Structure 1
């Protein structure tokens, strides 16, 4: 397949250009659900005349449905889009931004979606969908998948599906999180992922932030010890990234403790730990679940985070050095490159 694609690039490079354009049209229609031609032309930065010719062809091929309310994907359109997405990196290659971030952080895979997910619902949805597609490519039957709480991982849950050939996947929360909003708790996200994929889930009903005494007591409970053992042996871990101060306040951390963390240089939060700009863990909450030692042993770690304002936090977590893949958006990617250029890191850390 790779050899055939390379030959096509040499002999008929315009073929892949046309395929890429039509793929992006189908992708945008899918994200919108139903969209008018003018709105789609604006999103695609194309003239309505050019777009009309492309959408008419896609309609004739049975991939698009066009009605008075706008355009939507047919069942065949969804099937073709799904197949193209599986072949995406092979057919279309990685973008310059993706390659640059891959080299900067030594990652196996980077996916950059268009826009700014802090300002655009479409970009936010695409962030979750792209992470779901990557997970679909790496998951195996019998896998245990740990997931952190947060808005980004909640988006992944909405768009996740797995092939029928993948069986007995178990989703678990990476740690306790009963202190957060229900929709964004790791327990909720793990159960949603399991229900959407026909998998199984295990829940961890413990608070997000507990005392040393409570921690020791909980870890004596056989049921908690058993689920924690499952969590710590996950093969795949999907996590979000947050600003340290924002996350500490959201978790109702004592103001004095927040001040101390900031003074110590806390910049980013992920999986219950706080990191400085060098990617060094400088503060951890006492939580039941995954530990830093466990993270170092996980085979596949996928970070999902976007938005320009989160770039510094993303940079810190990438410097921690244990992620294998990053799913982010254009605004964060561009700011990550600026941060590295300012700090003199350029293409490598």
Structure 2
């Protein structure tokens, strides 16, 4: 396939431009379920006149269905998209980018989806779909899967399915709730994952951020101690990654701690820990659930995060060195590649 693509790039470069345009149209329609022409044109930064010509062609090929309500992809279109995905990644350099990031951080696998989650909710949904595929492949019989909160992990939960009920598997929250939107809390996400796969789940009804006295008291409760022991034995951890300052604000961290985080060079936050540029832990929240030593012993650790703004944060957590799989988007991957370039130039 690689040699054929190289020949096409040299002899028929316009063909690849047209193919990419039509692929992106079909992908955006598929992610949107149903979408109007004006909305689609805006999301693809394309004029309505150009878009109309392309969608009319795709309709004639029975890849799109168009009516007064809008456009939706046909079953034939979905099958074509599935066949095109690996070809698209190779054709536009995403496979090469995946391999470069994988080798640089010593990961087992990197999966990159097109787009920028900062700009498009459809890209975040695609991150969820890709995360589902990775998690489904990793899961085994009677597994315990620990899951953190956040909007990206919620997308994973909403799209996770299983052809056979996972009756012996358990989904558990990696830590307590953030006090944010209920939809994005780990308890809600594990409940959704379990219900969509026929698995079981446990909840952890404690705040995410605790004082030392409250932490000590809670850890003496038999029910809390029991669920924490289950969480800390998880074979799989699936987690998001946040910008350190953004996450500090969401957790309503006091000003003194924020100043300390800045002074320590905190760039990223994940599973309650803050990391600097080199991947070192510079601050940890006192939280019930997974500890850093548990992450270091976990068999499969999957990170799912995207958006250009998170490039530095993702790179920082990858340098920590205990993730096995990274699922990200094109915008974040390009930022990570730029960081790698700078490192190699100064090495």
What is the TM-score of this pair, normalised by structure 1? 0.83
CA contact (8 A) 1:145 1:234 kept: yes
Q: Deviations over 1:181-206 (max 9, x none)?
A: 32221111111222222222100011
Query: Larger deviation: 102-111 or 65-74?
Result: 65-74
**2: CA distance, partners of 1:332 / 1:178:** 25
The reply on whether 1:310 has 2:314 as its aligned counterpart is no
Secondary structure in 1 aligned to 2:205? coil
Partner in structure 2 of residue 323 of structure 1: 323
The reply on whether 1:56 has 2:56 as its aligned counterpart is no
Partner in structure 1 of residue 151 of structure 2: 151
The equivalences for 1:240-251 within 5 A come to 240-251=240-251
Q: Cα gap change, 1:199/1:84 in structure 2, threshold over 3 Å: closer, same or farther?
A: farther
CA contact (8 A) 2:301 2:325 kept: yes
CA contact (8 A) 1:41 1:48 kept: no
Partner in structure 1 of residue 31 of structure 2: 31
The reply on whether 1:225 has 2:229 as its aligned counterpart is no
* Displacement of 1:27: 3.6
* Displacement of 1:327: 1.4
Secondary structure in 2 aligned to 1:309? helix
**1: CA distance, partners of 2:135 / 2:21:** 25
Q: Cα gap change, 1:89/1:163 in structure 2, threshold over 3 Å: closer, same or farther?
A: farther
Contiguous gaps of at least 5 residues in structure 2: none
CA contact (8 A) 1:37 1:52 kept: no
**2: CA distance, partners of 1:135 / 1:19:** 30
* Displacement of 1:317: 0.2
* Displacement of 1:141: 2.7
The reply on whether 1:252 has 2:256 as its aligned counterpart is no
The reply on whether 1:106 has 2:110 as its aligned counterpart is no
Q: Cα gap change, 1:322/1:115 in structure 2, threshold over 3 Å: closer, same or farther?
A: same
* Displacement of 1:117: 0.8
CA contact (8 A) 1:26 1:81 kept: no
The reply on whether 1:192 has 2:196 as its aligned counterpart is no
**2: CA distance, partners of 1:336 / 1:91:** 21
* Displacement of 1:70: 3.1
* Displacement of 1:75: 5.7
Q: Deviations over 1:190-248 (max 9, x none)?
A: 11222222222100011111122222221121211111111111121111111112211
How many residue pairs end up in the alignment? 334
Contiguous gaps of at least 5 residues in structure 1: none
Q: Cα gap change, 1:114/1:19 in structure 2, threshold over 3 Å: closer, same or farther?
A: closer
Query: Larger deviation: 149-158 or 30-39?
Result: 30-39
What is the TM-score of this pair, normalised by structure 2? 0.83
**2: CA distance, partners of 1:208 / 1:224:** 13
Secondary structure in 2 aligned to 1:344? helix
* Displacement of 1:261: 1.9
**2: CA distance, partners of 1:51 / 1:250:** 42
Partner in structure 1 of residue 161 of structure 2: 161
**2: CA distance, partners of 1:191 / 1:304:** 19
* Displacement of 1:264: 1.5
Q: Cα gap change, 1:38/1:100 in structure 2, threshold over 3 Å: closer, same or farther?
A: farther
**2: CA distance, partners of 1:82 / 1:145:** 30
Secondary structure in 1 aligned to 2:297? coil
CA contact (8 A) 1:171 1:202 kept: yes
**1: CA distance, partners of 2:183 / 2:39:** 31
Query: Larger deviation: 280-289 or 300-309?
Result: 300-309
CA contact (8 A) 1:27 1:81 kept: no
* Displacement of 1:329: 1.5
